[in-house]
Structure formats: C-alpha cells, structure tokens
C-alpha cells in the first residue's frame, strides 16, 4: 500500500473539506502547491505576524460588535494610519496561517483558492466570469474576506481599502516592498509604471443603463454563448492583465493582495452604477437565488445568495465616495499590422442605431462574438478600432480576452462574446451603409508574448441594446 503524503503536521480531513466538498479538496491540493511554493516559499516568512492573531474570544467579540465600515481609497491612507496598519497586519496573519498549514481553512492560500475553484466548473459547477455572476460573486468574496481579516486581528472596524485605478495610475506604494504582506513578487510592473488611461475608461463602463450590458448576460453552460459585461471585459480584465504575474491568471489572481484592492474598486463601480437614476438590478429568480459558498471568519462554510448582496449598507459597508475620476484619454492610433474584421449591421436597423447613438438614449454595442478563448494560452489585451473600409478607423475601447482554463470540465464555455460601447461619433458611418471594418490591435505589455493567431472570431456585429 502506498503511504499518503502529508503536507504538514496539522492538516486534518476537516481542513481539507473547507466547505468545497470532497471533489474540491483534491482540486484544492493541486491548486495550492505551485502557488504555495511561489508565495509562501523561502524568501519571505510571515511567521512574525502570528503575534497579531486575535484570541478566539476577541475575534468573536469583534464580529459581534461590528457596525457599518467605510471602505476608502488606499492612496488616501497614510503609512501610519490605523486603517492601513489593520489591513496589513490582518493580511500578514492570514499569510502566516497558510505558512503554518497550507490547508488552514482561513489562511491566505485557502481563501485565494476559493477564487481559483470558482474559475473552473470542476468543483462548484459554476464559472463566475463572463456572465451576470461576475459582480455578485466577487462582492460576496470581498465581504467574507473583509470579515475574516477583521476577526483575525480582533478589530471590528477593519475595512478593505480599494485601489482607485482610473485616478491613481500607479500601483499604490502601500502594495510594494519586500516583507510587506501586501506585496507580491510576481507582478510584472514596477512601482513607477503607469497603467495606460485607455485601460481604465470607467465612464465608458458605467454608461450602459441595462444591467446585462454593464454587468453581464445570464449564465449559460456548455457551448452556448456567454456575453461578458463591459465592466468586466474592459476595466476589470485590463487591470488584471496589466499587473501581470499572479494577477494575470484566474488560478493565482487571488494570491496577490492587490486583487482585493482592484475588485473593491469594481464593487464601488457597481454601487455607483446602481445609485444612478433609472438603473436597476436583474429581477430574475435565476440570478437572485444563485448561491455561492465562501468561508466565514471562523473557517466554516458560508453560503450567500445574490439577493442578499444588493445593498452594501445592509451588508455592513459603504464607500467613502462613489465618484470616479476619468482623465481625458488621447485616442490611440491603429497599428498597421492589426487584423480587420467585417462588421455586420442589420440594414433595417441602420437608421434606428444611428439615432440611438445620436440621442444617447439607448445603448449600442460593438460585439466580438465567438471568441474561441480556449485557444488562447495567455490573456490578450487589444485596442479596438472601427471605421469605414480603407479609411483610418476610430478608437473604440481597450479590452482583454482571458483564456479558458477548464481543466477538463465539460460545462465550461468556449464561446464568449465581448461587447463594447459605441459613442455618438460612429452614427454617421453606421448610417452610411458602407462596409464597416473592426480591428483588434494587440497591446504589447512588459514580459508578455502575444500569441500569433490565438483568437478566432466567428463574427463581429453592432447591436442595439434595449434599455
Ligand atoms: Cu475573478 Cu478579477 O477575477
């Protein structure tokens, strides 16, 4: 009989189950090992943070007396503020837990792995990207992470800071520095690098009145088309991929502490969107009753329904501000080598679409359909242009296509539609009835190889979204 290897002395069967089920446990093992070596390896040791770990009674008391907390922009927190200190110490405590035991149910590694598991249909039978599950799943994840951090150090007021990346183009300094629990050595950008403004066009992402266009279409499985919301395909994906390293892969993204800073900003964008007049959330039960499993501050499985995630105050947090800064973007120019695709526009709709663009009362999207994302080995960031054949096209927006890593799961979508907002300026071209061409121009990023022919498109079209 073969002996079963043990990861460390305090791995127990209960630790392994973690509320993800037996199938999850083995998947979790596979996921943790490579990232564990990278993140909790020999260079950095988090053992010093054990001294901040709250005793169970103190942790419980912090949870019992917790009120609504205010989440702030991390760049507004001074190095010596209590808010930053709490966040750092708590992340350090979670990292130290994982260092003691890779399978600690409330260690940094196990929490990051919850995200990895929901990126593959294999464990939960759900993929939480490319559809209307995207915003709520990540909101629930941050909610549980924030409470787990607060309990870890027994501080009831701990609030997750956000990275306001449309205004702070550099990764905030608090995320840098060897030995800092908020640092991740796999990032491909340096502290002085600035994320291009067109990557973070928050105005374009907040524009749609229709939730599906903003936050994603209904979740479908198999070979049906998944339609990604603009918040996700542009603002969200561009930032992940730009940072690189752990953040640029589904499997490892949750390990980089900036994951919570970026997602918290997206959560803020959702709150801002929801607060705008005329905007409403989906009313379908299929959405409202979707349940996700996370873990509570004490390592027990915690189930949460989307219908209980629609009011942040009721969930126990608010944002210091729902304002976003949108610096002016100088429209990038098309690089001659980009591939052009003929764009389909329903001839009977041309006038209606042009009018919708001019009045701005309805929303028009350019859609790249049937991106066979599984042919893609690494994320592909591209600038999109649209124009009349043989003329210089105009810039539309910048999106990032993420590869499907399905690990053999049969229910994952190979086909994802990416949609993007068109502005009034395109009305004339669409109305003209002449041949329209769209281009995807890959953006070179530090340390990344852009794969040749990695993306296969079945079609590009222009669609009027009913509002
Ligand atoms: Cu679930 Cu930002 O990825």
Alpha carbon of 76 to ligand 1 centroid (Å): 24
Tell which atom from ligand 1 comes closest to the C-alpha of 262.
Answer: 2
Does the beta carbon of 97 sit less than 6 angstroms from any atom of ligand 1?
A: no
Overall average pLDDT of the 369-376 stretch: 64
pLDDT digits (tens, 9 = 90+) for 160-191: 999 999 999 999 999 999 899 999 999 999 99
Alpha carbon of 434 to ligand 1 centroid (Å): 39
Average pLDDT of the chain to the nearest whole number:
86
Alpha carbon of 119 to ligand 1 centroid (Å): 8
Does the beta carbon of 129 sit less than 6 angstroms from any atom of ligand 1?
A: yes
CA atoms within 13 A of residue 83's CA, in its CB half-sphere? 15
Structure tokens at 53: 């770990």
Confidence band for 374, pLDDT divided at 50, 70 and 90: low
Pairing status of strand 339-344 against strand 394-401: unpaired
Tell which atom from ligand 1 comes closest to the C-alpha of 128.
Answer: 1
pLDDT digits (tens, 9 = 90+) for 266-281: 999 999 999 999 999 9
Does the beta carbon of 147 sit less than 6 angstroms from any atom of ligand 1?
A: no
Q: Is residue 313 over pLDDT 90?
A: yes
Q: Are 107 and 124 in contact (CB under 8 A)?
A: no
Tell which atom from ligand 1 comes closest to the C-alpha of 141.
Answer: 1
Alpha carbon of 36 to ligand 1 centroid (Å): 19
pLDDT digits (tens, 9 = 90+) for 335-362: 877 889 999 999 999 999 999 999 987 7
Alpha carbon of 370 to ligand 1 centroid (Å): 21
Q: Is the Cα dihedral 206, 208, 211, 216 positive or negative?
A: negative
Least confident of 21-25, 36-40, 253-257, 329-333: 21-25
Least confident of 31-45, 303-317, 417-431: 31-45
Q: Are 230 and 213 in contact (CB under 8 A)?
A: yes
pTM of the model: 0.90
Alpha carbon of 358 to ligand 1 centroid (Å): 34
Tell which atom from ligand 1 comes closest to the C-alpha of 118.
Answer: 1
Return the residue whose CA atom lies nearest to atom 3 of ligand 1: 250
Does the beta carbon of 174 sit less than 6 angstroms from any atom of ligand 1?
A: no
Tell which atom from ligand 1 comes closest to the C-alpha of 137.
Answer: 1
Does the beta carbon of 268 sit less than 6 angstroms from any atom of ligand 1?
A: no
Alpha carbon of 250 to ligand 1 centroid (Å): 7
Does the beta carbon of 139 sit less than 6 angstroms from any atom of ligand 1?
A: no
Alpha carbon of 431 to ligand 1 centroid (Å): 38
Q: Is 433 left (phi over 0), alpha (psi -120 to 50) or beta?
A: left
State the CB neighbour count (10 A cutoff) for residue 453: 7
pLDDT digits (tens, 9 = 90+) for 32-71: 544 554 554 445 678 889 999 999 999 999 999 999 999 9
* SS3 letters across the chain: CCCCCCCCCCCCHHHHHCCCHHHHHHHHHHHHHHHHHHHCCCCCCCHHHHHHCCCHHHHHHHHHCCCCEEECEHHHCCCCCHHHHHHHHHHHHHHHHHHHCCCCCCCHHHHHHHHHHCCCHHHHCCCCCCCCCHHHHHHHHHHHHHHHHHHHHCCCCCCCCECCCCCCCCCCHHHCCCCCCCCCCCCCCCCCCCCCHHHHCHHHHHCCCCHHHHHCCCCCCCCCCEEECHHHHHHHHHHHHHHCHHHHCCCCHHHCCHHHHHHHHHHHHHHHHHHCCCCCCCCCHHHHCCEEEEECCCCCEEEEEHHHHCCHHHHCEEECCCCCCCCCCCCCCCCCCCEEEEEECCHHHHHHHHHHHHHCCCEEEEEEEEEEHHHCCCCEEEEEEEEECCCCCEEEEEEEECCCCCCCCCCCCCEEEEEEECCHHHHHHHHHCCCEEEEEEECCCCCCCCCCCCCCCCEEEEEEECC
Structure tokens at 336: 């001659």
pLDDT of residue 60: 97
Q: Is residue 10 over pLDDT 70?
A: no
| Between residues 36 and 76, the one the model is more confident about | 76
* Percentage of the residues of the chain whose pLDDT score is greater than 90: 67
pLDDT of residue 457: 80
Tell which atom from ligand 1 comes closest to the C-alpha of 138.
Answer: 1
């Amino acid at each position: 009989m073969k002996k079963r290897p043990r990861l460390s002395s305090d791995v127990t069967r209960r630790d392994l189950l973690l509320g993800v089920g037996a199938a999850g446990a083995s998947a979790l093992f596979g996921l943790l090992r490579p990232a564990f070596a990278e993140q909790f390896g020999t260079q950095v040791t988090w053992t010093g943070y054990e001294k901040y770990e709250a005793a169970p009674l103190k942790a419980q008391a912090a949870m019992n007396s917790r009120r609504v907390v205010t989440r702030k922009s991390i760049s507004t927190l001074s190095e010596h503020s209590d808010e930053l200190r709490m966040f750092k110490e708590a992340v350090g405590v979670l990292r130290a837990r994982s260092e003691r035991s890779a399978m600690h149910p409330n260690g940094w590694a196990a929490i990051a792995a919850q995200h990895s598991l929901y990126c593959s249909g294999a464990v939960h039978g759900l993929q939480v990207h490319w559809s209307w599950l995207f915003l709520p799943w990540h909101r629930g994840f941050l909610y549980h992470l924030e409470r787990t951090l607060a309990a870890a150090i027994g501080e009831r007021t701990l609030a997750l800071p956000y990275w306001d990346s449309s205004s702070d183009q550099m990764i905030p300094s608090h995320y840098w520095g060897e030995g800092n629990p908020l640092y991740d050595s796999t990032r491909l950008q340096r502290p002085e690098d600035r994320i291009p403004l067109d990557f973070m066009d928050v105005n374009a992402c907040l524009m749609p009145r229709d939730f599906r266009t903003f936050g994603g279409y209904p979740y479908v499985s198999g070979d049906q088309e998944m339609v990604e919301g603009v918040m996700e395909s542009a603002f969200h994906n561009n930032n992940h991929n730009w940072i690189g390293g752990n953040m640029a892969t589904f499997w490892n993204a949750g390990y980089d502490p900036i994951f919570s800073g970026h997602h918290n900003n997206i959560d803020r964008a959702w709150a801002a969107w929801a607060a705008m007049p005329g905007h409403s959330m989906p009313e379908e039960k299929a959405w409202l009753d979707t349940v996700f499993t996370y873990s509570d501050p004490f390592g027990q499985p915690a189930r949460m329904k989307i219908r209980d995630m629609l009011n942040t105050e009721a969930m126990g947090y608010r944002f210091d501000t729902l304002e976003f800064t949108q610096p002016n973007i100088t429209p990038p120019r098309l690089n001659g080598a980009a591939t052009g695709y003929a764009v389909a526009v329903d001839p009977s709709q041309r006038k209606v679409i042009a009018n919708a663009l001019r009045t701005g009362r309805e929303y028009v999207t350019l859609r790249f359909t049937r991106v066979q994302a599984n042919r893609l080995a690494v994320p592909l960031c591209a600038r999109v242009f649209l124009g009349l054949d043989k003329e210089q096209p105009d810039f539309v927006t910048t999106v990032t296509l993420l590869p499907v890593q399905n690990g053999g799961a049969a229910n994952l979508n190979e086909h994802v539609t990416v949609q993007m907002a068109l502005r009034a300026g395109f009305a004339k071209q669409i109305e003209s009835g002449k041949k329209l061409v769209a281009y995807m121009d890959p953006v070179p990023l530090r340390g990344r190889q852009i794969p040749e022919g990695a993306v296969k498109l079945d079609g590009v079209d222009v669609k009027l979204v009913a509002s």
